[in-house]
Amino acid sequence: MKPLIAGNWKMNKLPSESETWVRDCTSKLQHIDHSHAEIALCVPFTHIASMTNVLVATVVRLGSQDVSAYESGAYTGEVSAAMLKDLGVCYAIVGHSERREYHQERDAVVCAKAQAALSHGLVPIVCVGESLEQRDAGEADEVVTTQLKASLAGINLDNADDLVIAYEPIWAIGTGKTASAAQAQEMHEKLRAHLAGKYGADIADGVPILYGGSVKAANAEEIFAGKDVDGGLVGGASLDSRGF
């Protein structure tokens, strides 16, 4: 399994700014050994068509920040997995904490979106994570494993490459706070144990489990050193090509 470093631009940058970022980032990647890791960039829907052409000759794979649970039809504002696949998208983030919180997306919706992505050959990056109140109450393990179980309900996997999990403690997203390396490893180990119980050890060992939550150049090496930490879902730090 290759580790995965996935940038999430969220609602930032204009489509016209994308090419400069890609040029700067890929020029730096030429000077390092990237053969041991997968690199992806999840951009707003408005950027995807132009980014497809910009990224085609690079090592960076394209991802979306969301995907519709619906195949097609009268769903104004939605973007389907088939549409994304047609544009060359490889990954789709589902269940990001900001979608869960601001758009009231529940686990059943996250699961439906993951299934839609899989049905069209996209790899869903399924996000789970607890709030500070839940962690302080000693409920973090239960909350996160319950989210994972419900978000994968009814999803069968024959290939570990078809799924990515991202643990993103809500209290560490955009706050400057970061889970310690030990906290990240502990939760990732529990998530992998759940995957092993559902899909078997062989598949569980091959599913990348990313950490997301104020990841940046200064703390990435320590966090990624965890045995069960297979890379990162990088938010704000991905906006700067050097930091990413």
- Catalytic (active-site) positions: 96, 168
Contact criterion met (CB below 8 Å) for 61 and 38? yes
Structure tokens at 74: 């009268």
Query: Can you say whether the dihedral through the CA atoms of 160, 161, 162, 166 is positive or negative?
Result: positive
- In this structure, what is the dihedral angle of CA atoms 139, 190, 40, 237, given to the nearest 10 degrees? 50
Alpha carbon 134 to chain centroid, angstroms = 22
**What separation, in Å, do the N-terminal and C-terminal C-alpha atoms of the chain show?**
21
Question: How far apart are the C-alpha atoms of 116 and 147, rounded to whole Å?
Answer: 18
Question: How far apart are the C-alpha atoms of 111 and 232, rounded to whole Å?
Answer: 21
- The three-class DSSP label of residue 11 is coil
Q: Which of 72, 76, 83, 7 is nearest to 45 (CA)?
A: 83
Alpha carbon 72 to chain centroid, angstroms = 24
- In this structure, what is the dihedral angle of CA atoms 49, 52, 54, 60, given to the nearest 10 degrees? 140
Rg (CA), the chain: 17
